[in-house]
Each structure stands twice: as C-alpha cells, then as structure tokens.
C-alpha cells in the first residue's frame, strides 16, 4: 500500500468521544515501550506522527489517525504499566476494553509484543481476553532487528508453543522492526485486503 496521506484526527479520553466510525479501523496496542510508535511511524513512513512520550503510561488517550483518507489507524494507550496507581490501571483497562468491544468499525487489533522477551503474563492475559471476547486480532513481534535470526525464530516459536497451550488455532503473526521497517509491508497488505466494508 502506498501511503499518500497520514493525518492526526483527534485524541479521545472515552470511547464515546472517538470520531464517528464510518470507515474501517485498525488499532495498535501493546505494553509501554514495546515499540508501538516506532512501528506506526515506520509503517507510515513518517518521522514522528505517533509521538513518543517521555513519560510512558501517562497518556490515557485513544489517538486516531486517518490514512489515505479511507481508513483509521488507532494508537491505543499501553496496558499494564506498573508505575501507575491501581485506580489508574483500572480506568485504563476500562477505556481500552470499552473501545475494543464497542467500536463497530474496528476490523483488526494488532497486539504488539517485544520479540526479545519470553511470553509475559500481562501480554498472555490480554491475548487471552481478546480470544475469549471474540476480538479479531493479530500478534506483532517488535524490535526484530535487535536479535540474531536464530534467536528471533526461537522466541517466536516459544511464544507460539505457549499460545498453543490454550488455543488450537493461532492468530496471524507478524515479525517486525519499526527501526528497519521490516514486516510493515505485510501489515499494510493485510489492511489493504480487508479495508472495505
Ligand atoms: P510508549 O509510547 O512510551 O508506550 O512506547 P512505544 O511502545 O510507543 O515505544 P517506542 O516506539 O517509543 O519505542 C521505545 C524504545 O524502543 C525507543 O527507544 C525506540 O527507539 C526503541 N525501539 C522501538 N522500536 C524499535 C525497533 O524496531 N528496533 C530497535 N532497535 N529499537 C526500537
Ligand atoms: Mg508510543
């Protein structure tokens, strides 16, 4: 997909405040520091469309961008940030869960996980919730350039094995690097294929 235009639309603190869902939408989520902004920017070929915040986990806003004037890319706040209060975490969760479950034009949720780490319970729990809730989602491994190819392959296989403990069928998996812009074309092709109502 050629990215002709990519524009920020708005930040919303509640799912009800999001722009009207009249066009297909694709959302990106993952723990803070997973490489979400870098992946979005790399994929769209923009330097700093999705801003990297100096204080991770502080921004509890849903950010909408409109791409090629015909689909929304949504940057969701990171889940499971440890350094905020329990109440803030619950508010976070509510915002994210409500958005995901109520956003009728959401075609797919891309769940980002850091390819360097073994499966983390916070990610597994979120993936579990997506599966149980019937949310259409894919798993995106980030920062692939930081690993040697054989280690990368092993980590992805280990992750799949962990998921297979619960699920027979696994979602689509992408292995990416926002830095090196690898795997981004695959994500865009998927979006291209599916972004018609
Ligand atoms: P928050 O918005 O703060 O939650 O973080 P984020 O998930 O948007 O992560 P961000 O893209 O800001 O990246 C976090 C750190 O990881 C930065 O120092 C990036 O330079 C680094 N990083 C992100 N993606 C990659 C990647 O693909 N390769 C490498 N080598 N570093 C990356
Ligand atoms: Mg970010």
110: three-class secondary structure by DSSP: strand
pLDDT of residue 83: 63
For the chain, which ranges sit under pLDDT 50?
none
Ligand 2 centroid to Cα of residue 167, in Å, is 29
Sheet holding 137-142, edge to edge: 6-12, 62-67, 71-75, 25-30, 106-114, 137-142, 173-175
CB-based burial label for 159 (10 Å; 0-12, 13-18, 19+): buried
Structure token pair of residue 53: 């915040």
Atom of ligand 1 nearest to the CA of 38: 11
Spell out the domain ranges in the chain.
Answer: 6-194
The answer to whether 112 touches 36, Cβ cutoff 8 Å, is yes
Query: ipTM strictly over 0.90?
Result: yes
- Which residue's CA is the closest to the ligand 1 atom numbered 16? 35
| Cα–Cα dist 16/29, whole Å | 19
| Cα–Cα dist 19/134, whole Å | 23
pLDDT of residue 25: 98
| Protein residues with CB under 6 Å of any ligand 1 atom | 30, 32-38, 52-53, 56, 78, 142-143, 145-146, 177-179
pLDDT of residue 38: 93
- Which residue's CA is the closest to the ligand 1 atom numbered 31? 143
CATH number for the segment(s) 6-194? 3.40.50.300
Q: Which residues contact 101 (CB under 8 A, 6 or more apart)?
A: 133, 135
| Cα–Cα dist 130/142, whole Å | 19
Ligand 2 centroid to Cα of residue 37, in Å, is 4
pLDDT of residue 109: 98
Ligand nearest to the CA of 179: 1
């Amino acid at each position: 997909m050629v990215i002709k235009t990519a524009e920020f639309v708005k930040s919303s603190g509640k799912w009800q405040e999001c722009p009207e869902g009249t066009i297909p939408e694709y959302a990106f989520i993952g723990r803070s520091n997973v490489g979400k902004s870098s992946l979005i920017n790399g994929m769209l070929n923009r330097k700093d469309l999705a801003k990297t915040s100096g204080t991770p986990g502080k921004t509890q806003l849903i950010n909408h961008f409109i791409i090629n004037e015909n689909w929304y890319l949504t940057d969701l706040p990171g889940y499971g940030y440890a350094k905020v209060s329990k109440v803030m975490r619950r508010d976070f969760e509510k915002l994210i869960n409500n958005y995901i479950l109520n956003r009728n034009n959401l075609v797919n949720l891309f769940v980002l996980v850091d390819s360097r780490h073994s499966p983390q319970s916070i990610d597994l729990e979120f993936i579990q919730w997506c599966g149980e809730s019937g949310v259409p989602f894919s798993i995106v491994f980030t920062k692939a350039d930081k690993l040697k190819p054989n280690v990368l392959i092993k980590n992805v296989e280990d992750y799949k094995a962990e998921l297979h403990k619960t699920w027979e069928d696994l979602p689509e998996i992408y292995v990416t690097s926002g830095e090196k812009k690898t795997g981004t074309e695959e994500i865009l092709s998927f979006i291209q294929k599916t972004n018609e109502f």
